Amino acid sequence: MDSEVGMGDGEEEDAQCASCHQYCHFAAVECGCSDDRVACAAHTGALCACPPSRWRLAFRYTLAELDAQLSGVFGAATRVGALNQ
């Protein structure tokens, strides 16, 4: 785990949201008008001025991996909630 800041050398796996600059680990919205500009799901409006029909959702993980991660998160949350009741 290093924290190098790339200077536009095609480091797509380190894509950051154009608005909040969080790393888009799971999914990013991309547009054909710019290869290195992405936005997280919450900030698609900050991506560019193109109509949303031009945007596409790019998954960083396969859907199976994403599903496994999400059910892990929700499973843990459910257990915590049950303990607090």
> Which residues sit at the interface with Zn ion, rule CB under 5 A?
17, 19-20, 31, 33, 40, 43, 48, 50
Residue closer to Zn ion by CB (options 35, 76) is 35
Residue 9 corresponds to which tokens in the numbers above?
Answer: 């050398």
Distance set, CA 59 to CA 47, 63, 85 (Å): 16, 8, 36
Query: Whole-number minimum distance, CB 63 to Zn ion, in Å?
Result: 21
Query: Least distance to Zn ion from the beta carbon of 22, Å?
Result: 6
* Beta strand pairing call for 34-39 and 55-59: unpaired
Cβ proximity to Zn ion, 19 vs 66, nearer residue: 19
Q: Whose Cβ is closer to Zn ion: residue 49's or residue 64's?
A: 49
Amino acid 36 reads: D
Provide φ and ψ at 66, rounded to 5°.
Answer: -60, -45
